[in-house]
C-alpha cells in the first residue's frame, strides 16, 4: 500500500477562489463598504 | 385559505419534516445527536446558520417594520460581516481544536467550573425565553387565518418542532434547515415579484419606491451620531458587531451549527458566506415591506391589520364608535390618495419645488392616518385592557392572504412556518446540548454511558420544548416581537461575549476575576437597560467592555493582595 503524504493543515485550510483566508476577509470588508455606499445612494435617491 | 393553499402548506411541512427525519435516522450516540458527527459541508453550515438566525419573526416583523417606520432596520446587520471575520480567526479554530460540544466547555478549560456554569446558565435563560417568542410568531398566522386563539396554534407548532428535533437531533435540524432556506428564497422572490405586479398599471417598481421614499420609508442608511437612535450606521457597525459576535460566538444555538462543519475550513466558509449574503437578504425583505406600503397607497389598507382583535372590537359595545372612526379613516385615505396623485404628477414633471411641497403634504396625510389608527387602539384598550394593540406583525400577513394568488398564499404561509421551525429546532437542540453537556454530564452524573446521555439529550429537548411553549403563550403581550428578542439578547450577550474575549485575548486574568466581573456587569446592564438611557444595541458594547475592564481591575486587586501576603510571609 502506498501511503500518501498527509496534507498539511495550512494547505487543507485554503479557501476557494482566493489565495488565502486574509484575502477572503478583505473581500468581505470590501463588500460591506460597497453595500453601505449603495444603500446610502438608495436612501438619498428616493428620499 | 383555499384547498390549494392548504394542500401546498401541508405538503411542504410534511415533506420537510419527513426529509429531516429520514436523513437523520440512526443517531446512536451523543456525538452524532449533538454534533451530527461533524460531517457537514460549508453550504450546509451556511444555510443552517442563516436559518437559525432568520426566524419567522424576520419574515413577519421586518416587512411590518419597513411598512410603519422604513428600512433603517437593515443597519442592525452591518456589524455581521465583521463579526464573521473575528469568529473565523479566533473562535472557530479554537472550538474545533479543543473538540468541544458547547462553547461554555471551553471556558472551564480556560478559567474554571463556576465561570462555565454561569455563562451556560445565562445562555439557558436568554435562549429559553427568546425561543418562546420565536414559537409565538408563526402561531399568530394560524390564529389569524382560522380566527382562533393563539394558544392552540402555539401548541401545534411547538409540538411539530419538538417531534423532529427529539428524533433526529442536530442532523435533522441541519437537513430540514437546508431545504427550508431553499424554499424561503424562492417564496420571497415570488412574493416580491407579485407585489410589483399588483401595483397600478402606470406605477412601476421605481415609482413605487419613490412614493414610499417621500414618506420616509427608504431610510436605509443614517450616518448621524445619535445615541438614542436605535438604528444608525454606528449602532449597526459597533453595537451590531458586538451583538453578532456574541450571538454567533457564544450562543450555543449558532456555535452548535458551525461545530457540525466537517473541518475548520468548512465551518469558516459557511460563516463567511453568511456574511456575504445576510445583509442583501435582509434588505430585500425590508424592500418587500416598502413595496407593500406603496401598494397600500393605492389600495385602502385595513384600519387595523390584526383581524382577530378588530373583529372583537366590531362585535363589542364600542362597535358604533368604531364605525364612526372608519368613516374618518376612509375620508383620510381618499384625501391622501389625492396627495399621492399630485406627487406622481410632480415626479413626472420632475419639479423639485412641487416635489418638496408634496412631500410635506404626504407626510401630514400619513400622520393623520396614523392618528386615526391610534384612536382604534385606544378604543381596543377601553374594550379590553389585555387587547394586543400592536399590529406590525400582521401587516405582511394580511397583505399575503388578501391579495396574493392561490397556491402562493400557502407557500408563503409555509415559509413563515419553516423559518420558525428552523430557528426553534436549533434553539431546542442547543438548549439540550448545554443542559446535558454543561450541567447534567459535568455537575450531576459524570460517568453515565453514552446511551444514557443520548436519552438525557432527548428528554432535555422535550423539557425545553415545553418551557418554550409556555413562554410563547405569554408572548402575545409583547409589542414588536423582533425588537423584543433583540433587546432581551442585548441584556445578556454583551456579558457573555466579554467573558469569551477575556478568555481569548487577556491571558493574565483568571477565573475568579472574570466570574465576579460578569456578575457585576450583568447587574449594571439590567439597571442601565431598565433606565433606557441608551439605545439597546449599545448595551452589548457596554456589557462586553465592562466585563473586560472590571475583570482587569479585580485581577489587579487579587494580584496586589497576593503580593502583600507573600511579602508579609517573607518578613
- Judging contacts by C-beta atoms under 8 Å, the chain B residues touching residue A47 are 213-214, 216, 218-219
CB distance A16–B220 less than 8 Å?
Answer: no
Name which of A24, A29, A39 is nearest B221 (Cβ-Cβ): A39
Searching chain B, which residue's CA lies closest to the CA of residue A24?
B272
- Judging contacts by C-beta atoms under 8 Å, the chain B residues touching residue A25 are 85, 88-89, 272
**What's the confidence (pLDDT) of residue B39?**
79
Name which of A12, A29, A46 is nearest B265 (Cβ-Cβ): A12
- List helix spans (H) across B315-407: 319-349, 352-383, 395-403
Contact B367, B43 (CB under 8 A): no
Which residues are within 8 A (CB) of B427 and not within 5 positions of it... i.e. 6 or more apart? B52, B127, B130, B131, B134, B253, B464, B468
B69, B73, B218: best mutation site toward chain A, by most A Cβ within 10 Å?
B218
Number of A/B CB contacts below 8 angstroms equals 67
> Which span out of A30-34, B111-115, B359-363 was modeled with the highest average pLDDT?
A30-34
**What's the confidence (pLDDT) of residue B281?**
92
Q: Taking every pair of C-alpha atoms in chain B, what is the biggest distance, in angstroms?
A: 93
CB distance B210–A46 less than 8 Å?
Answer: yes
CB distance B275–A28 less than 8 Å?
Answer: yes
- Judging contacts by C-beta atoms under 8 Å, the chain B residues touching residue A39 are 74, 220-221, 283
Searching chain A, which residue's CA lies closest to the CA of residue B263?
A13
**What's the confidence (pLDDT) of residue A10?**
47
For chain B, give the mean pLDDT. 86
Question: Higher confidence at residue B1 or residue B333?
Answer: B333
CB distance A39–B216 less than 8 Å?
Answer: no
**What's the confidence (pLDDT) of residue B479?**
55
ipTM over 0.90: no
Contact B454, B33 (CB under 8 A): yes
Number of helices (H) and strands (E), helices first, in chain B? Answer: 23, 0
* Residue B92 pLDDT level (bands cut at 50, 70, 90): very high
CB distance B269–A16 less than 8 Å?
Answer: yes
Residue B85 is placed in which grid cell? 471575520
Across A13-17, B174-178, B222-226, B489-493, least confident range: A13-17
- Judging contacts by C-beta atoms under 8 Å, the chain A residues touching residue B88 are 21, 25
The alpha-carbon gap from A17 to the nearest alpha carbon of chain B, in Å, equals 11
User: Does residue B141 carry a pLDDT above 70?
Assistant: no
User: Does residue B62 carry a pLDDT above 90?
Assistant: no
- List helix spans (H) across chain A: 9-12, 21-46
Q: Averaged over A40-47, what is the pLDDT? A: 90
Residue B352 is placed in which grid cell? 423639485
Residue B512 is placed in which grid cell? 475568579
φ and ψ at residue B261, rounded to 5 degrees: -65, 150
B221, B280, B356: best mutation site toward chain A, by most A Cβ within 10 Å?
B221
d(CA B13, CA B161): 11
The alpha-carbon gap from A5 to the nearest alpha carbon of chain B, in Å, equals 19
CB distance A15–B265 less than 8 Å?
Answer: yes
> Torsion over CA of B441, B444, B449 and B453, rounded to 10 degrees?
-50
Tell whether B85 is within 8 A of chain A (Cβ). Answer: yes
Q: Averaged over B166-171, what is the pLDDT? A: 83
The alpha-carbon gap from B506 to the nearest alpha carbon of chain A, in Å, equals 24
The alpha-carbon gap from A2 to the nearest alpha carbon of chain B, in Å, equals 25
Searching chain A, which residue's CA lies closest to the CA of residue B281?
A35
Q: Could you tell me what percent of chain B has a pLDDT over 90? A: 22
Q: Averaged over B264-271, what is the pLDDT? A: 92
User: pTM for this structure?
Assistant: 0.84
Decide: residue B322, CB within 10 A, 0-12 exposed, 13-18 middle, 19+ buried.
buried
**What's the confidence (pLDDT) of residue B517?**
93
The alpha-carbon gap from B42 to the nearest alpha carbon of chain A, in Å, equals 11
Name which of B221, B265, B279 is nearest A43 (Cβ-Cβ): B221
Q: Which residues of A touch B (CB under 8 A)?
A: 12-16, 21, 24-25, 28-29, 31-32, 35-36, 39-40, 42-43, 45-47
d(CA B51, CA B59): 12
User: Does residue B242 carry a pLDDT above 60?
Assistant: yes
**What's the confidence (pLDDT) of residue A25?**
94
Tell whether B273 is within 8 A of chain A (Cβ). Answer: no
Residue B40's DSSP bridge partners are: B261
Alpha carbon A9 to its chain centroid, in Å, reads 19
- Judging contacts by C-beta atoms under 8 Å, the chain A residues touching residue B74 are 39
Contact B424, B162 (CB under 8 A): no
- List helix spans (H) across B223-351: 233-234, 240-250, 252-259, 264-295, 307-314, 319-349
Over the stretch B446-484, which tens digit does the pLDDT of each residue have? Answer: 888 888 888 999 999 999 999 988 888 877 666 555 567
User: Does residue A1 carry a pLDDT above 70?
Assistant: no
**What's the confidence (pLDDT) of residue B22?**
84
User: Does residue A9 carry a pLDDT above 50?
Assistant: no
| Whole-number Cα distances in Å, B479 to B286, B343, B467, B500 | 19, 33, 21, 32
Which residues are within 8 A (CB) of A39 and not within 5 positions of it... i.e. 6 or more apart? B74, B220, B221, B283
Q: Could you tell me what percent of chain B has a pLDDT over 70? A: 96
Q: Averaged over B500-529, what is the pLDDT? A: 90
- Judging contacts by C-beta atoms under 8 Å, the chain B residues touching residue A7 are none
The alpha-carbon gap from B267 to the nearest alpha carbon of chain A, in Å, equals 11
Searching chain A, which residue's CA lies closest to the CA of residue B218?
A43
Contact B416, B138 (CB under 8 A): yes
**What's the confidence (pLDDT) of residue B52?**
86
Searching chain A, which residue's CA lies closest to the CA of residue B209?
A46
Alpha carbon B369 to its chain centroid, in Å, reads 29
Searching chain A, which residue's CA lies closest to the CA of residue B355?
A47
> Torsion over CA of B205, B208, B212 and B217, rounded to 10 degrees?
-20
CB distance A14–B216 less than 8 Å?
Answer: no
Tell whether B177 is within 8 A of chain A (Cβ). Answer: no
Name which of B78, B220, B272 is nearest A24 (Cβ-Cβ): B272
Q: Which residues of A4-43 are buried (b: 16+ CB within 10 A; e: fewer)?
A: eeeeeeeeebebeeeeebeebbebbeeebeebbeebeebb
**CB < 8 Å from A in window 210-249 of B:** 210, 212-214, 216, 218-223, 233
Alpha carbon B434 to its chain centroid, in Å, reads 21
Residue B123 is placed in which grid cell? 445562555
Amino acid at each position: 500500500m502506498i501511503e500518501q503524504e498527509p496534507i498539511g493543515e495550512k494547505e487543507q485550510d485554503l479557501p476557494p477562489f482566493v489565495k488565502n483566508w486574509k484575502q477572503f476577509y478583505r473581500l468581505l470588508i470590501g463588500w460591506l463598504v460597497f453595500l453601505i455606499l449603495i444603500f446610502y445612494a438608495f436612501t438619498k435617491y428616493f428620499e | 385559505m383555499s384547498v390549494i393553499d392548504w394542500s401546498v402548506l401541508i405538503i411542504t411541512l410534511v415533506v420537510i419534516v419527513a426529509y429531516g427525519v429520514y436523513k437523520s435516522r440512526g443517531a446512536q450516540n451523543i456525538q452524532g445527536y449533538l454534533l451530527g458527527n461533524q460531517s457537514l459541508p460549508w453550504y450546509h453550515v451556511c444555510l443552517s446558520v442563516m436559518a437559525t438566525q432568520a426566524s419567522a419573526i424576520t419574515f413577519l416583523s421586518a416587512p411590518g417594520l419597513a411598512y410603519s417606520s422604513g428600512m433603517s432596520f437593515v443597519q442592525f446587520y452591518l456589524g455581521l460581516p465583521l463579526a464573521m471575520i473575528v469568529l473565523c480567526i479566533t473562535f472557530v479554530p479554537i472550538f474545533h481544536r479543543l473538540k468541544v460540544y458547547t462553547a461554555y466547555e471551553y471556558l472551564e478549560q480556560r478559567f474554571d467550573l463556576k465561570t462555565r456554569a454561569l455563562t451556560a446558565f445565562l445562555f439557558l435563560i436568554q435562549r429559553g425565553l427568546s425561543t418562546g417568542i420565536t414559537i409565538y410568531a408563526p402561531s399568530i398566522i394560524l390564529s389569524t387565518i382560522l380566527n382562533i386563539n393563539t394558544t392552540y396554534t402555539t401548541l401545534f407548532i411547538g409540538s411539530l418542532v419538538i417531534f423532529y428535533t427529539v428524533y433526529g437531533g442536530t442532523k435533522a435540524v441541519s437537513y430540514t434547515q437546508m431545504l427550508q432556506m431553499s424554499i424561503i428564497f424562492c417564496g420571497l422572490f415570488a412574493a416580491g415579484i407579485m407585489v410589483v405586479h399588483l401595483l397600478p398599471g402606470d406605477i412601476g417598481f421605481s415609482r413605487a419606491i419613490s412614493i414610499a421614499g417621500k414618506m420616509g420609508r427608504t431610510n436605509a442608511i443614517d450616518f448621524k451620531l445619535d445615541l438614542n437612535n436605535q438604528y444608525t450606521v454606528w449602532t449597526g457597525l459597533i453595537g451590531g458587531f458586538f451583538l453578532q459576535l456574541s450571538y454567533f460566538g457564544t450562543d450555543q444555538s449558532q456555535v452548535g451549527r458551525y461545530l457540525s462543519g466537517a473541518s475548520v475550513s468548512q465551518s469558516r466558509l459557511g460563516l463567511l458566506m453568511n456574511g456575504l449574503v445576510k445583509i442583501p437578504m435582509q434588505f430585500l425583505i425590508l424592500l418587500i415591506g416598502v413595496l407593500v406600503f406603496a401598494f397600500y397607497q393605492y389600495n385602502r389598507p385595513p384600519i387595523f391589520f390584526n383581524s382577530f382583535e378588530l373583529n372583537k372590537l366590531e362585535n363589542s359595545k364600542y362597535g358604533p364608535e368604531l364605525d364612526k372612526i372608519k368613516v374618518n379613516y376612509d375620508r383620510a385615505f381618499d384625501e391622501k390618495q389625492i396627495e399621492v396623485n399630485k406627487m406622481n404628477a410632480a415626479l413626472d414633471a420632475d419639479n423639485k419645488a412641487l416635489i418638496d411641497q408634496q412631500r410635506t403634504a404626504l407626510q401630514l396625510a400619513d400622520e393623520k392616518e396614523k392618528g386615526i389608527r391610534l384612536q382604534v387602539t385606544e378604543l381596543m384598550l377601553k374594550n379590553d385592557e389585555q387587547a394586543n394593540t400592536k399590529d406590525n406583525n400582521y401587516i405582511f400577513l394580511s397583505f399575503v392572504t388578501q391579495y396574493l394568488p392561490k397556491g402562493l398564499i400557502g407557500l408563503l404561509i409555509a415559509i413563515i412556518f419553516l423559518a420558525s421551525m428552523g430557528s426553534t429546532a436549533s434553539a431546542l437542540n442547543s438548549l439540550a446540548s448545554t443542559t446535558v453537556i454543561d450541567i447534567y454530564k459535568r455537575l450531576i452524573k459524570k460517568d453515565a454511558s453514552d446511551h444514557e446521555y443520548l436519552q438525557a439529550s432527548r428528554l432535555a429537548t422535550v423539557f425545553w420544548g415545553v418551557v418554550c411553549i409556555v413562554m410563547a403563550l405569554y408572548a402575545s403581550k409583547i409589542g414588536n416581537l423582533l425588537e423584543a428578542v433583540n433587546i432581551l439578547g442585548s441584556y445578556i450577550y454583551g456579558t457573555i461575549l466579554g467573558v469569551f474575549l477575556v478568555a481569548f485575548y487577556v491571558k493574565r486574568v483568571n477565573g475568579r476575576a472574570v466570574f465576579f466581573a460578569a456578575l457585576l456587569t450583568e447587574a449594571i446592564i439590567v439597571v442601565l437597560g431598565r433606565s433606557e438611557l441608551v439605545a439597546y444595541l449599545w448595551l452589548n458594547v457596554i456589557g462586553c467592555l465592562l466585563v473586560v475592564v472590571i475583570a482587569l481591575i479585580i485581577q489587579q486587586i487579587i494580584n496586589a493582595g497576593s503580593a502583600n501576603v507573600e511579602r508579609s510571609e517573607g518578613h
